[in-house]
Amino acid sequence: MKETTKVALAGNPNVGKTVIFNELTGSKQHVGNWPGVTVEKKVGNFSHKDEEIEVVDLPGTYSLSPYSIDERIARDYIIEEKPDAVVNIVDASNIERNLYLTLQLLEAGANVVVALNMMDEAQKKGMKIDVKKLSEILKAPVIPMVGIKGEGVKELKNAIYEEVKHRREHRHMSMGYGRELEKGIISLEEEMARCPALKKYRHRWLAIKILEGDAEAIKKVSEAGCDDLIKEAKRLRKQFGRKLDEDMETYFADKRYEFVDDILGVVLIKGKKLWSFSDMLDKVLTHKVFGIPIFLAMMWAAFQFTFSVAVPFMDAIDLFFGWLGDIARVSITNPAIQSLVADGIIGGLGSVLIFLPNIFLLFFVLSLMEDSGYLARAAFVMDKAMYRIGLQGKSFVPMLLGFGCNVPAIMATRTIEDRKERLITILVNPLMSCSARLPVYILFAGAFFIGAEGSVIFSMYLMGILLAVLMALLLRKVFFKGKPSPLIMEMPPYRMPTFKSSAIHMWEKGSMFLKKAGSIIFLGVVIIWFLSTYPGGPGSDIETSYVAAIGRWVQPIFAPLGWDWKAAIALVFGFVAKEIVVGAYGTFYGISDADEGSTSLRSELHGAFTPVSAYAYMAFVLIYVPCLATIGVIKSETGSWKWTLFAVAYMMGLAYLVALVITVVGHLLGFA
């Protein structure tokens, strides 16, 4: 059987790898306009002529010296899996920095095809690149492209086909590092030839890496049992280090940049410096005084929009489920099945699905902000504030992703090199309010804060950010002493977001909510319906049900906060997924009001909460454990039960404390 041809997409962060991946494979992976969107490799396929090709989209990396987890994923794939070709996506408008990785890929022996992406941006900057000359120097095909418009995709497919078909493996461009050092490299290569276990690596690349002192490369050599080689490399490193008066890694890096400069001297004509529209925007959006207020203004507008514009769609869904419930009540005669379908499934699920428009709109707005390039500026603006609390701006990217869902947000911390910073970011990330909590806020804000719903919801998000800041500060002072590392972050160009791209992003994230509604939330509301209906059966008083018994058992814990047993039990079920809190209320009131017709859930809540206790309840939902999936991802990303249990414990404690403070202060200020 013919082996599948494998092609990897590699490049610096935010050069359009995912765009080209989607163009090649026809998939709809999320494309972001900030570094770090791809933290895991993604796989897709396409066929071209007679070849079936598997494409792997690797996380962005600046070099083949891995400093963070995502960079290690990219390097390991290229070095260990040895794909048939590596498409190196190069941002033409930042060619100087991008070519560094190209040189390293060629040095590693990869069969490189250079996709010179964002040619339009380069042209806007007045840059002219001699593509043919560049291809001659690199001894690799170079394809000019504008990935986002699909320009050059056909040519890229042809180039990939030619590369994998003819497998021109012995055609690497090699750059020299000076006569003395070359002698050392060659002696190491000769020594390496005596280690059969190292045969799979390109010897020149491995020799350079161990001379650089690359810990991963040294480990590979050590595991192959070639300790003499390590000793020799160490001796040479010391010898050359003394002679050159700098460490070897820096020396090799400098030499590569010199070579890049030489190449660009031949192939690039730079345009005259223009004061671009991007420069003008950056001047204000990253301004030391206005940066943060502008960010807050944008976030407030996002939540105001999300809440208010969704209202007609919510009402339409509400009417639909009301109509569906009436039909179920009329057409199903068996009381148990009628109650299950009308009160449990339609009532419970309907009360959650009503928030679908809010969730879709929130993702749409966040996507617009991300695609425009603004979110990267927000991270930059926040860097100074983040540094003060012991984090760096890079931590802000996963924090912002947490507004969507904490699970991918915690996974996105892989871009953070420093383990301490990464742990702090993981531990505080659940405090960023994910979309699953939005239905709870909308329900309670709509019931108790009429006219100020958007601002009340925004205050929840602000509270989440403030608590995350405070917790990060505390964790840094108590458990993770030391200073954060400085932020090096590339600002992506501003781009006009397209409706198509934002709609795809909205659908990807929004459909996750729909899938949850069809699985775990569905199961949750059915269980809640059963516990709320029995042992008495349909039509019996909910106060005599199992759920009431469990709720009364839990309720004393929440008595100081003024919540009844229904509030307590909804929180218990919300431990699985936050949307179930609303689903539980939908089911409770569906059952209670089965005889009275469709009484509004919001008006029912007025009997159980005051504005103060409702606000405290919203705060509790914000802070306590987001969901089981988040706990799972904290465990997998920290690799520690200790930190996982710590996260659960501190969030529960903090949620209770904050809710209690709101209740006490609210009463002291004379609010009901």
Beta carbon nearer to another protein, 454 or 590: 454
How many residues form the binding site for another protein (CB under 8 A)? 34
Here the tokens at position 357 are 């428009």
Contact between 664 and another protein by CB under 8 A: the answer reads: no
User: Within 81-100, which residues bind another protein (CB under 8 A)?
Assistant: none
Residue type, 651: M
**Least distance from C-beta 315 to another protein, angstroms?**
5
Segment interacting with another protein, rule: CB under 8 A, options 19-27, 173-181, 286-294, 605-613: 286-294
**Least distance from C-beta 439 to another protein, angstroms?**
18
Segment interacting with another protein, rule: CB under 8 A, options 280-288, 536-544, 634-642, 663-671: 280-288
Interface residue with another protein among 259, 364, 458, 650 (CB under 8 A) is 458
Interface residue with another protein among 128, 200, 283, 388 (CB under 8 A) is 283
Non-local (6+) Cβ contacts of 80 within 8 A are none
Beta carbon nearer to another protein, 269 or 557: 269
Here the tokens at position 215 are 């810990």
Rounded Cα distance between 207 and 72, Å, is: 19
Contact between 290 and another protein by CB under 8 A: the answer reads: yes
Contact between 301 and another protein by CB under 8 A: the answer reads: yes
Rounded Cα distance between 589 and 594, Å, is: 8
Per-residue x/- marks for another protein, 568-587, CB under 8 A? --------------------
Closest CA to 581 of 453, 398, 444: 444
Determine how many CB atoms are found less than 10 A away from the CB of residue 646. 16
Which DSSP string corresponds to 261-294?
A: HHHHHHHEEPPPP---HHHHHHHHHT-TTTHHHH
User: Within 309-328, which residues bind another protein (CB under 8 A)?
Assistant: 309-312, 315-316, 319
Contact between 499 and another protein by CB under 8 A: the answer reads: no
Rounded Cα distance between 54 and 87, Å, is: 12
What are the φ/ψ torsions at residue 4 (nearest 5 degrees)? -70, 140
Contact between 451 and another protein by CB under 8 A: the answer reads: yes
Rounded Cα distance between 347 and 271, Å, is: 63
Interface residue with another protein among 31, 113, 138, 294 (CB under 8 A) is 294
Contact 565, 548 (CB under 8 A): yes
Contact 15, 65 (CB under 8 A): no
**Least distance from C-beta 458 to another protein, angstroms?**
6
What are the φ/ψ torsions at residue 54 (nearest 5 degrees)? -95, 130
Which DSSP string corresponds to 447-472?
A: HH-TT-HHHHHHHHHHHHHHHHHHHH
Report, in this order, helix, strand and coil percent for the chain, each rounded to 5.
Answer: 65, 5, 25
Closest CA to 329 of 529, 532, 594, 534: 594
Segment interacting with another protein, rule: CB under 8 A, options 136-144, 277-285, 345-353, 590-598: 277-285
Beta carbon nearer to another protein, 305 or 671: 305
Interface residue with another protein among 193, 284, 466, 665 (CB under 8 A) is 284
Q: Is 146 helix (H, G, I), strand (E, B) or coil?
A: strand
**Least distance from C-beta 102 to another protein, angstroms?**
31
Here the tokens at position 371 are 């695609």
**Least distance from C-beta 667 to another protein, angstroms?**
20
Segment interacting with another protein, rule: CB under 8 A, options 134-142, 454-462, 477-485, 554-562: 454-462
**Least distance from C-beta 310 to another protein, angstroms?**
8
Segment interacting with another protein, rule: CB under 8 A, options 258-266, 390-398, 436-444, 451-459: 451-459
Interface residue with another protein among 2, 170, 179, 272 (CB under 8 A) is 272
Contact between 308 and another protein by CB under 8 A: the answer reads: yes
**Least distance from C-beta 280 to another protein, angstroms?**
4
Contact between 479 and another protein by CB under 8 A: the answer reads: no
Contact 367, 499 (CB under 8 A): no
- Residues 341, 347, 349, 353, Cα dihedral to 10°: 140
**Least distance from C-beta 321 to another protein, angstroms?**
14
Beta carbon nearer to another protein, 374 or 513: 374
What are the φ/ψ torsions at residue 114 (nearest 5 degrees)? -95, 120
Pairing of strands 142-144, 128-129: unpaired
Per-residue x/- marks for another protein, 221-260, CB under 8 A? ----------------------------------------
Rounded Cα distance between 471 and 287, Å, is: 27
Rounded Cα distance between 462 and 428, Å, is: 14
Interface residue with another protein among 167, 270, 277, 323 (CB under 8 A) is 277
Q: Is 424 helix (H, G, I), strand (E, B) or coil?
A: helix
**Least distance from C-beta 293 to another protein, angstroms?**
5
Segment interacting with another protein, rule: CB under 8 A, options 77-85, 186-194, 302-310, 505-513: 302-310
**Least distance from C-beta 247 to another protein, angstroms?**
39
Contact between 280 and another protein by CB under 8 A: the answer reads: yes
Segment interacting with another protein, rule: CB under 8 A, options 103-111, 281-289, 500-508, 608-616: 281-289
Contact between 305 and another protein by CB under 8 A: the answer reads: yes
Which residues face 143 on adjacent strands?
115
Rounded Cα distance between 439 and 252, Å, is: 54
Exposed/middle/buried for residue 277 (C-beta within 10 Å: 0-12, 13-18, 19+): exposed
Exposed/middle/buried for residue 102 (C-beta within 10 Å: 0-12, 13-18, 19+): buried
Rounded Cα distance between 538 and 231, Å, is: 79
Segment interacting with another protein, rule: CB under 8 A, options 284-292, 581-589, 600-608, 652-660: 284-292
Contact between 304 and another protein by CB under 8 A: the answer reads: yes
Pairing of strands 268-269, 128-129: antiparallel
Distance of CA 432 to the CA centre of its chain: 13
Interface residue with another protein among 298, 470, 554, 652 (CB under 8 A) is 298
Beta strands of 206-275 (E only): which ranges? 268-269
Here the tokens at position 383 are 């860097």
Segment interacting with another protein, rule: CB under 8 A, options 272-280, 392-400, 437-445, 467-475: 272-280
**Least distance from C-beta 279 to another protein, angstroms?**
8
**Least distance from C-beta 341 to another protein, angstroms?**
25
Segment interacting with another protein, rule: CB under 8 A, options 58-66, 234-242, 269-277, 523-531: 269-277
**Least distance from C-beta 325 to another protein, angstroms?**
17
Beta carbon nearer to another protein, 47 or 276: 276
Q: Where do contacts with another protein occur on this chain (CB under 8 A)?
A: 272-275, 277, 279-281, 283-285, 290, 293-294, 296-298, 300-301, 304-305, 308-312, 315-316, 319, 451-452, 454-455, 458
